[in-house]
Amino acid sequence: MGEARRLDNWLKGYQEFTEGTESPAIFHFWTAIGIIAGAAQRKLMMDADYFQVHTNQYIILVSPPGRSRKSTALRIGKGILKGVPDWGQDIYFSTQASSVAALVKQMSSIPTKEHQSLTLVGSELGTFLGKNPMEMTDFLVDIYDCEPDWDKQTVGRGLEKIPSPWFNLITATTPNWMGENLPKTATEGGFVSRTLFIFEDTRRRVAFPQLSEEQKRIRKHLIHDLACIARLKGLILFSPDAKEFYKDWYENVNAIPANADQRITGYYERRHIHVLKVAMAISLAESDSLILEQRDIETAIAILSEIEPGMRRAFSSVGKNIYSTDLERIKTQICEAGTLTYKRLLSANIFSIEKTELDKLLDALEAMGEIERLKGNIFKSTEEGRNGKRESAVLRLRGQPTGKPKPADR
């Protein structure tokens, strides 16, 4: 008989453990989703007859350089996953800098016969994609669905084969890096549609973040319960209510919103798969039952809906418009200030664009409804209360238990 869990809800416990850091709560939450996947590995999946849905995630935290402490969130999550004790279920990590050849070699050399599961928790997407981003993103697309007996014939290396591949990606980047380096095939070839881009550009300022004694206890419980998740094997099934709810949602929902950004329309085509993957993580955070409840699916739909507006901002530098980065920067300046005079906007941007270009970009933002022009040539953001509001909404696990330790473990 295995060890019993110590937390009512792993995600809630993780939220309480990471309170007081400078990283935004939204980054901690999605790192936690990826960490649960890292513990589950290929040993758990959903069988939908014609296809299988696996637990792996492709999650990329996106923010301007140094703004939102992406690396801090990733480092904390990796530390928790690396702390999982070996109960006969080893967790393997990819190197930070890699190539397709090195990644295939590392996966195929994993001694576990049942599956070759590998997780990357890395601070920089660019470092991982390496010198040939196109080759790596093509490989990530190919390996995402975890089809068995993956193989590839190469001239230099011969036949490369992975019997039961599974790859889990949690990393970070900036909008500018995506604009300058993300290959066209990443958006048109399917990498973007398989990836959750989590955008945030705010952070809390904490001069001396410290762990309380209660948080230290929660950390031990988080590691213990991840080991419980790592021990699980089998199929994750729908409850009758969940199956009926998902069927109604999938068959009635509009796949692509009318105003969807063309750069992320592929995501909307695969949104149902993301819903199931996230719902599995939410279910595993609470229970060993391997049963998806309706509330798990409802929560997955809700939290995905809340990150979708930010995905467009994550792609602010991706596209053919040479002024896309300037457009997003000016919008952010106005949004953060609440209101800005034309004089201050000109002073802040004169080293990047000329006055005539600023005028055109302000006109464009006004036409899109992103800003409002007031009397006296003052500009006001139309985006309401970005700071804090999105974080609390994402972390509100509807209908889920708290993350406090169970009474016997206090």
Q: How confident is the model at residue 311 (pLDDT cuts 50, 70, 90)?
A: confident
Domain ranges of the chain: 10-316, 324-388
Cα torsion 269, 272, 274, 277 to 10°: value is -150
Q: What are 10-54's pLDDT values in tens digits?
A: 999 999 999 989 999 999 999 999 999 999 999 999 987 677 999
Q: Locate tokens 């937390």: which residue?
A: 7
Sequential DSSP letters for 274-309: HHHHHHHHHHHHH-SS-EE-HHHHHHHHHHHHHHHH
CB under 8 Å to 47, separation ≥6 — which residues? 235
Quote the CA–CA distance of 46 and 255 in Å, as a whole number: 22
- Which tops the pLDDT comparison, 395 or 177? 177
CATH code at 324-388: 1.10.10.10
Cα torsion 32, 38, 43, 45 to 10°: value is 50
Quote the CA–CA distance of 10 and 84 in Å, as a whole number: 14
Quote the CA–CA distance of 165 and 375 in Å, as a whole number: 60
- How much is the pTM? 0.84
Give SS3 for 17.
helix
Q: How confident is the model at residue 390 (pLDDT cuts 50, 70, 90)?
A: very low
Helix pair angle (355-367, 324-337), 10° resolution: 70
Sequential DSSP letters for 254-272: -SS-TT--GGGHHHHHTHH
Q: What are 318-359's pLDDT values in tens digits?
A: 655 667 778 878 887 898 788 999 999 999 999 889 999 999
CB atoms within 10 A of CB 4: 12
Share of the chain above pLDDT 90, in %: 56
Helix (H) or strand (E) holding 403: none
Quote the CA–CA distance of 394 and 385 in Å, as a whole number: 15
CATH architecture, domain defined by 10-316: 3-Layer(aba) Sandwich (3.40)
